[in-house]
Amino acid sequence: MHPPSIFNNILGPVMRGPSSSHTAAAVRIGRLGRRLLSEEPVYARFTFDPRGSVATTYRGQGSAMGLAAGLLGMDIADKDLLKAEELCSRKGLKIEYRIEKFSDAHPNIYNTYLKGASGKEVSFMAISTGGGNVRLTRLNNEPVDDDLDYINPLMPVRLKRDPVLPFKNINELVKLLEQKGGALSDYAVRYETAIGDVSEEDALILARSYMFIMREAINDGLAGTSYEDRLLPRQSHLFSQAPEKGQLIPASLANTIIRSVTAVMEVKSAMGLIVAAPTAGSCGTLPGVLLPSAEAACRTENEIMKALLAAGMVGIFIANECGFAAEEGGCQYECGSASGMAAAALVELMGGDGQMSLNAASMALQNTLGMICDPVADRVEVPCLGKNIMAALNALAAANMTIAGYDHVIPLDEVIKAMKEVGDDMNLKYRCTCKGGLSTTPTARRIHKDLSSSDKEVE
């Protein structure tokens, strides 16, 4: 396995759709299949294991849409993503879905068979590992041990083979911080330029572009969004109206954060452009707390960019140990990770050093261990919105507590290992399968029936 990249695997993808592990990953799997077939597909069959999450969510969380888009060669940010299945039908590309048990039991595995216009066939298995990331595991019934050549063209940063990393784990980074000091963003840049064919300038340019997309998502959400197949109505504007009536508890920055997180989540649910950081399900947390905090503290764009890189560095350590798929470890892997990343970013934003950023991330993650993933009506909206808001405010608290001198007690590496232990022990029904928690309450069942009466998969 090749080490993760900040821009390939942590900050991003820049995408449309409700779910990075379902929609964005599905687009990449479709595009991967198209490349492997090396001609226009005319038939596609995708098989999902009933024990996994995709079997129950491939409609509501956008896998079907994403697979169709990928087979057409669309990008994950394409504005026509929503029309992909219709476009496939017009082109005569037939797509089938089957639910069958097979030996590979990963919750996000796509067993794929494609046939081209000439009769050429290809079969492969690919796993969605969270945050839009995919891994090719089998090709034409043969195991794939090294998928770098297959995956590289799908990602923004081309990874080096056998890179020489400046540090391999948190403990090595901590030793460097003890010896040389510095901000976490400095080490993030060193890491990314070591792992990928990018310069320091390239890394800063990517960070800047992501910052602009995050800002636009907040602005677009506040301007108003609409989308027919959505559980929640527009709500972000309510935080602009309520103060005029004297209804809100005085908490200026906290209320701005709530409004901003809501705005980003509404854009995501309306198929607008967002940065999955680290996932689409948690996309509101980092921008929703970082950008309002930067404005309140009069920080520059350059300082915001460096804060994003600091967040990405924490995400690297989480990715190495846990990954970001709620299907593997619950929402602690998504909103929890986003909260830890955001806490580190806020400390960097306020001039804290690298060790302080790591301490803030530790504190934030400690507060989110055990968070389950139980979406209502198969939509990434409820309780996802509330969890993003909670994660953002938790990040703010952890950052300020760290800056004030609070003791985080447990080192970050130990907290991440504990998160992995909790995730491994979490019951499958609480891992984005829509088989437990809020997903199966009577009200959730009724809402699901009203929103998607044709979906017979979820029981």
Question: At how many degrees (to 10) do helices 184-195 and 200-223 cross?
Answer: 110
* Contact indicator for 362, 320 with CB cutoff of 8 Å: no
Alpha-helical regions (H) of 84-195: 84-91, 148-151, 170-180, 184-195
Say yes or no: 191 and 128 in one domain.
Answer: no
Say yes or no: 183 and 74 in one domain.
Answer: no
Residues 140, 428, 151, 337, Cα dihedral to 10°: -170
Task: Pull the structure tokens for residue 382.
Answer: 């409820």
User: Number of structural domains, the chain?
Assistant: 2
367 located within any domain: yes
Q: What is the DSSP string of 39-83?
A: S-EEEEEEEE-TTSSHHHHTTTTSHHHHHHHHHTT--TT-TTGGG
The residues near 380 (Cβ < 8 Å, ≥ 6 apart) are 18, 19, 61, 268, 269, 280, 281
50 located within any domain: yes
Say yes or no: 222 and 93 in one domain.
Answer: no
Question: At how many degrees (to 10) do helices 252-269 and 285-296 cross?
Answer: 140
* Contact indicator for 391, 285 with CB cutoff of 8 Å: yes
Q: Tell me, what CATH number does 392's domain have?
A: 1.10.4100
**Which amino acid is residue 398, in one-letter code?**
A
Say yes or no: 100 and 203 in one domain.
Answer: no
**Per-residue confidence (pLDDT) for residue 162, from 0 to 100:** 94
Say yes or no: 409 and 443 in one domain.
Answer: yes
**pTM of the full structure:** 0.94
Q: Tell me, what CATH number does 52's domain have?
A: 3.30.1330.90
| CA distance linking residue 331 with residue 319, whole number of Å | 14
**Per-residue confidence (pLDDT) for residue 119, from 0 to 100:** 96
**Per-residue confidence (pLDDT) for residue 453, from 0 to 100:** 64
Say yes or no: 260 and 349 in one domain.
Answer: yes
Residues 250, 252, 258, 264, Cα dihedral to 10°: 150
The residues near 106 (Cβ < 8 Å, ≥ 6 apart) are 52, 127
CB-side neighbour CA atoms (13 Å) of 188: 34
**Per-residue confidence (pLDDT) for residue 454, from 0 to 100:** 45
The residues near 96 (Cβ < 8 Å, ≥ 6 apart) are 43, 44, 45, 46
**Per-residue confidence (pLDDT) for residue 458, from 0 to 100:** 37
User: What's the domain range around 361?
Assistant: 170-451
pLDDT in tens, the chain (459 residues): 789 999 999 999 999 989 999 999 999 999 999 999 999 999 999 999 998 889 888 988 899 999 999 999 999 999 999 999 999 999 999 999 999 988 766 888 999 999 999 999 999 999 999 999 999 999 999 999 999 999 999 999 999 999 999 999 999 999 999 999 999 999 999 999 999 999 999 999 999 999 999 999 999 999 999 888 889 999 999 987 776 667 789 899 999 999 999 999 999 999 999 999 999 999 999 999 999 999 999 999 999 999 999 999 999 999 999 999 999 999 999 999 999 999 999 999 999 999 999 999 999 999 999 999 999 998 999 999 999 999 999 999 999 999 999 999 999 999 999 999 999 999 999 999 999 999 999 999 999 998 866 444 433
Say yes or no: 297 and 445 in one domain.
Answer: yes
Largest Cα–Cα distance of the chain, in whole Å? 68
* Contact indicator for 264, 284 with CB cutoff of 8 Å: yes
Pairing mode of beta strands 133-139, 142-143: antiparallel
438 located within any domain: yes
N- to C-terminal Cα separation, the chain: 36
**Per-residue confidence (pLDDT) for residue 408, from 0 to 100:** 98
352 located within any domain: yes
Say yes or no: 272 and 306 in one domain.
Answer: yes
Say yes or no: 73 and 213 in one domain.
Answer: no
| CA distance linking residue 364 with residue 49, whole number of Å | 34
Alpha-helical regions (H) of 270-300: 285-296
